[in-house]
């Protein structure tokens, strides 16, 4: 199993995704500051993996607090929450995981005044978030796998696989793995996903490692391959799903959804229920991260655009709910109208809830 992020006795171990596919290097992060920096710089990325990393960052930071009272520990914890919240704005899993850690601290506080015991409980909560992510992706992979026909070719955008989660299945790629584990033959077309190249670098890497057939195309080839009849369905992940089903995902996802509609190809979103943000009514309220222009003007140190030219680097876009055939979650498959189906799934207690 690919270990994207892992709690160890020495610190948090992370696969440096910036170096893939040419180098498989693990970093040992020994402070919450290093973890926050790793999230910002995309050493780790993908909505669920960002949430897990933030939770581990909070657990690590709290465990290193030198405060001797519960009040001291809480003061430090609140400060670390602020640092984590400021890393990346779009993926709601980050805020969801921080909220869960806050809840764990509050609960622990009512049960004990032993600072060391509370620190231990925070570590256990971060580990529980990690373990539940693996279970969630297995569950959504099973639900989603049923929507994939034997012999299908699935187009995906960005990386919503093991690398974007705790490891193992992933979300969109969890659906592919779920179908394969159910005995179906499935091939994947991976959009390259400019500018950070999560498709060509990461999706292709993890699928090739698992011997799942994968073909990489540049983003502007998607329409052509759909027109040629080479795509049976599209499955993508999500960074935040609003209450009405509008879905923020990697920049370019909206373009793929419009193309899928034009060619009558079902467009599916796969995400754990923690990605559904019922507090956000529609996609218009989802904050869209804009990253450093250098990710567009350069590939590693190779300059691609003239000096001084204006550049925008939006990291995400929003696909309107009417383009989405179904939203595959760990609690089942939501169909339109999403305002009802998502609320009903999100408010159902999960089989693996704490």
CA distance linking residue 211 with residue 190, whole number of Å: 14
Could you say which of 133, 168, 191, 239 is catalytic?
239
Q: Is 171 in the site for ligand MRU (CB under 6 A)?
A: yes
Site for ligand MRU in 20-59 (CB under 6 A): 45-48
Kindly state whether residue 342 participates in binding ligand MRU, applying the rule CB under 6 A: no
| Of residues 143, 152, 142, the one with CA closest to residue 213 | 152
Q: Smallest distance from the beta carbon of 240 to ligand MRU, in angstroms?
A: 9
- CA-CA distance, 201 to 193, in Å (whole number)? 9
Count other C-beta atoms under 10 Å from residue 22's C-beta.
8
Q: Mark the segment that binds ligand MRU (CB under 6 A) among 1-9, 112-120, 140-148, 233-241.
A: 233-241
- How far apart CA 118 and CA 315 sit, in angstroms, is 37
The DSSP annotation for 106-150 comes to: HHHHHH---HHHHHHHHHHHHHHHHHHHHHHHHHHHHHHHTTSPT
Residue 153, phi then psi, degrees to nearest 5: -110, 125
**The residue to which tokens 């669920």 are assigned:** 48
Bridge partner list, 236: 269
Q: Is 23 helix (H, G, I), strand (E, B) or coil?
A: coil
Comparison of 123 and 172: residue with beta carbon closer to ligand MRU: 172
Q: How far is CA 199 from CA 65, 161, 192, 256, in A?
A: 39, 10, 4, 14
Cis before 269 (ω within 30): no
Distance of CA 207 to the CA centre of its chain: 17
Query: Can 72 be counted among the known catalytic residues?
Result: no
Q: Which of 53, 87, 165, 247 binds ligand MRU (CB under 6 A)?
A: 165
Closest CB to ligand MRU among 164 and 190? 164
Residues within window 291-330 making contact with ligand MRU, judged by CB under 6 A: 315
The contact mask relative to ligand MRU for 79-118 (x = CB under 6 A, - = no) is ------------x---------------------------
* Residue 160 in the binding site for ligand MRU (CB under 6 A): yes
Q: How far is the CB of 5 from ligand MRU (least distance, A)?
A: 13
Residue 275 CB, nearest distance to ligand MRU (Å)? Answer: 8
**Contact call for residue 237 and ligand MRU (CB under 6 A):** yes
Residue nearest to ligand MRU (CB): 237
Nearer Cβ to ligand MRU (122/186): 186
Q: By the 8 A CB rule, do 245 and 271 touch? A: no
Number of residues that bind ligand MRU (CB under 6 A): 17
Angle between helices 92-111 and 115-145 (to 10 degrees): 140
User: Rounded to the nearest whole angstrom, what is the least distance from the CB of residue 9 to ligand MRU in the complex?
Assistant: 28
Do 207 and 188 contact (CB within 8 A), yes or no?
A: yes
Kindly identify the residues of this chain, within the stretch 241-270, that bind ligand MRU according to CB under 6 A: 249-250
The catalytic residues are 239
Binding site for ligand MRU (CB under 6 A): 45-48, 91, 158, 160, 164-165, 171, 198, 237-239, 249-250, 315
């Amino acid at each position: 199993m690919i270990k994207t992020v892992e709690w160890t006795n020495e610190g948090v171990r992370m696969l440096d995704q910036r170096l893939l596919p040419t180098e498989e290097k693990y970093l040992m992060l020994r402070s919450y500051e290093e973890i926050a920096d790793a999230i910002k710089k995309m050493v780790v990325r993908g909505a669920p993996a960002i949430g897990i990393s933030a939770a581990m960052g909070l657990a690590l930071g709290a465990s290193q607090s030198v405060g001797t009272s519960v009040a001291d520990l809480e003061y430090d914890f609140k400060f670390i929450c602020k640092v984590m919240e400021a890393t990346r704005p779009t993926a709601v899993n980050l805020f969801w995981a921080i909220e869960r850690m806050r809840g764990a601290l509050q609960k622990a506080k009512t049960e004990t005044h032993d600072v060391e015991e509370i620190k231990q409980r925070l570590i256990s909560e971060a580990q529980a978030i990690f373990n539940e992510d693996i279970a969630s992706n297995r569950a959504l992979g099973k639900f989603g796998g049923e929507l994939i026909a034997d012999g299908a070719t699935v187009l995906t955008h960005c990386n919503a696989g093991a690398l974007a989660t705790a490891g193992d299945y992933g979300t969109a790629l969890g659906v592919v793995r779920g179908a394969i584990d159910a005995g179906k033959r499935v091939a994947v077309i991976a959009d390259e996903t400019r500018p950070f190249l999560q498709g060509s670098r990461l999706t292709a890497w993890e699928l090739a490692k698992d011997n799942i057939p994968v073909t990489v195309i540049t983003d502007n080839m998607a329409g052509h391959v759909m027109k040629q009849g080479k795509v049976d369905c599209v499955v993508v992940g999500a960074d935040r799903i609003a209450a009405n089903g509008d879905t923020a995902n990697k920049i370019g996802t909206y373009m793929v959804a419009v193309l899928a509609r034009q060619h009558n190809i079902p467009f599916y979103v796969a995400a754990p229920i923690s990605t559904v943000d019922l507090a956000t009514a529609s996609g218009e309220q989802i904050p869209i991260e804009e990253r450093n222009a250098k990710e567009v003007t350069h590939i590693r140190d190779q300059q691609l655009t003239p000096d001084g030219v204006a550049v925008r680097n939006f990291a995400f876009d929003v696909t309107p709910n009417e383009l989405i055939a179904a939203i595959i979650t760990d609690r089942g498959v939501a169909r339109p109208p999403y305002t009802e189906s998502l609320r009903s799934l999100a408010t159902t207690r999960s089989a693996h809830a704490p």
